[in-house]
Structure 1
Amino acid sequence: MLYETLRRVGSVVGRALYRPRIEGLEHIPDTGPVILASNHLSFCDSVVIPLAVRRRVRFLAKAEYFEGTGLRGRLSEATFASLGAVPVRRGTGREALDALDLGLRVLKDGEVFAIYPEGTRSRDGRLYRGRTGVAHLALTSGAPVVPVALAGTREIQPIGARLPRVRPITIRFGAPLDFSTGYGHLKPGRARRVITDEVMAAIHALSGQEQAGEYNNHGGGDA
């Protein structure tokens, strides 16, 4: 109830302020599990996507956003919790697997789960190589993957900026990608790599970003 109220209010306010261009919402199934795989340009991406989508969207967020002190810390915790964020710690391989397990639980419950295959925010606006967690989720859950391209959010809240700015933004949702069949002849690791590359190619087709051709190993981004 709180999520829906905040989503409705936030959507109205956000659309009035930013007048976002939203394309392809019809590609998101009305029911059932679905993975939203998006490029990642700004801290505010995890606010923009849930406010644009009619269904509840769950996503991973750094545990630090839930552990701050004082008024700012409480506000951060309340905001991310109400938007459907799932706190996760980053660092070790075990923690990465735990994060994927959380995503699988969300999909098992028939919900929408958003993930950033790049792993962290792009500091230079380029599209980095995807990590294979998105493929693991798709293969294990059987859920379709809807590619998402955000544009303009980097200008709303650049890395290091304390307050958001009013800038035009575009949110594009592509046609769902079905990976439930057709990959059984590949070894698991190879299948995950092939699927991840296909997802990133779909995101690139929507975003038009320059491709970095490497992993984004900069720290400090969202989970």
Structure 2
Amino acid sequence: MIYPNLLFPRPPKNEIELLKRAYELTGKSLLSLAKNFNLSIPTNLKHAKGWIGMLLELYLGANATSKPQQDFSHLGIELKSIPVNTERKPLETTFICMVPLIKNNNITWENSYLRYKLKRVLWIPVEGNHSLELAKRRIGQPLLWSPNKEENQKLHQDWEELMEIIALGKIDFLNSRYGEWLQIRPKAANSKALTPAIGENGEIIMTLPRGFYLRKNFTELLLKSYF
């Protein structure tokens, strides 16, 4: 079932309805989905990185607002599209949320925004090879996932290591090599988009905003484990 043009789906009532909608997308091209909403397709994703996610949100009925919450907040589910190659291997890391660089003394893994975002995720693979025209790229089989005990423990360990470095004021020493499954990388529109952080002597410094990303080795393992 594809919704009529400009008829935006209501939010799904429950997980079953959401997953049913996601399965209906399997094998469909981005062109067919874009036509459903009378949307033009960008020539590339360089200046439209969130376009595929936006398209999926429209079809699936995501209800997130500008507030920091999950895409399907009434269901406690986050939506993540993931570009993959012909072997279903992820082609890039997955951004999850911004890193709290100040006022983070009382944040624990259990009450962190990162864990909140990862509690339950609807993963939707999308063909991502750059040689394939964007309009012809197809949507893959979805996966509704929550971290098991081992996954939660490893993500927790990575989070603790990364947040300790930030708490010690060593953010400028932090690079993408830290973390087994998680990594922290700059996330800013340009080099002038600075934000406050804690320096080595406890002083406020200005630095680039940082984001939490899931490494490709984790999402590849995830897709292999469940498919």
TM superposition score normalised by structure 1 = 0.36
Higher relative contact order (CA 8 A, sep 6+): 1
- TM-score, normalization by structure 2: 0.35
Larger Rg: 2
Q: Which has the higher helix share?
A: 1
